[in-house]
Chain A
Amino acid sequence: SQTIHQWPATLVQPVGSPLSLECTVEGTSNPNLYWYRQAAGRGLQLLFYSVGIGQISSEVPQNLSASRPQDRQFILSSKKLLLSDSGFYLCAWISRIRGTEAFFGQGTRLTVV
């Protein structure tokens, strides 16, 4: 069966520090991968998505970046965090089959102080 792992669950980081959130998927191959963020009081905003190794589409200009070094690994990074980067980050995957649902990681609560 397919599973998705996202870590860490919570993170408190000072302003200006780097960030690395990792997401891995098991039990499937060649998935579409996504990073979303919920800022306080807002919905789920699409940050990045990837359709293959090394292929990243960015939806929102910001100081975050994403990478997909392996088929089932998706990494969200920042060189210098801002206070506005605080929020709840979710990784998700979906297969190429049209009628299938997306599966989400457990999320990372990031607080930038």
Chain B
Amino acid sequence: ILNVEQSPQSLHVQEGDSTNFTCSFPSSNFYALHWYRWETAKSPEALFVMTLNGDEKKKGRISATLNTKEGYSYLYIKGSQPEDSATYLCAPRDHGGNKLTFGTGTQLKVEL
């Protein structure tokens, strides 16, 4: 997998706003799609691992969808809180499951 794109690159929202990010990846050789929450200089925290086309997963106020045929995934945060401020990374895992390549991330800042 050579090209993993995430948009937007950064986002500033107000507390209580809902927001969403996009991860685009090559649809060929798909194995799994990971989402992580990451604070700089710390270990990334796993949010979701998605494997099936049409998958929808939810954890609290955060949810994600997956389209493997067209090669994209959306991450949604409902009612953003300041503690949601972080960088959100997606990582496609390629066919065979050996390579895990991260996108450049979406940096979210939630302001009071």
Residues of A in contact with B (beta carbons under 8 Å apart): 32, 34, 36, 38, 42-46, 49, 51, 57, 88, 90, 92, 94, 96, 98-102, 104-107, 109
Contacts and interface: CB of A to CB of B under 8 A. Distances in A.
Given A98-B31, A98-B51, A43 B43 contact: no
B36 to A, nearest CB: 8
29 contacts: A32-B98, A32-B100, A34-B100, A36-B102, A43-B89, A43-B104, A44-B38, A44-B44, A44-B102, A45-B102, A46-B101, A49-B99, A49-B100, A98-B31, A98-B32, A98-B51, A98-B97, A99-B32, A99-B49, A101-B46, A101-B49, A102-B34, A102-B46, A102-B91, A102-B100, A104-B43, A106-B42, A106-B43, A107-B41
A44 B43 contact: no
Contacts of B40: 38, 88
B71 interface: no
Greatest chain A CB density within 10 A among B31, B46, B100, B104 is at: B100
Given A51-B98, A92-B100, 16 more contacts: A32-B97, A32-B98, A36-B102, A43-B89, A43-B102, A43-B103, A44-B38, A44-B105, A46-B102, A57-B98, A98-B31, A99-B51, A101-B34, A101-B49, A102-B91, A107-B41
A45 B104 CA distance: 8
Interface residues of B, number: 26
B28 to A, nearest CB: 17
Contact of A46 (B34, B38, B99): B99
Interface in B83-112: 87, 89, 91, 93, 97-105
Given A36-B102, A46-B99, A49-B98, A107 B43 contact: yes
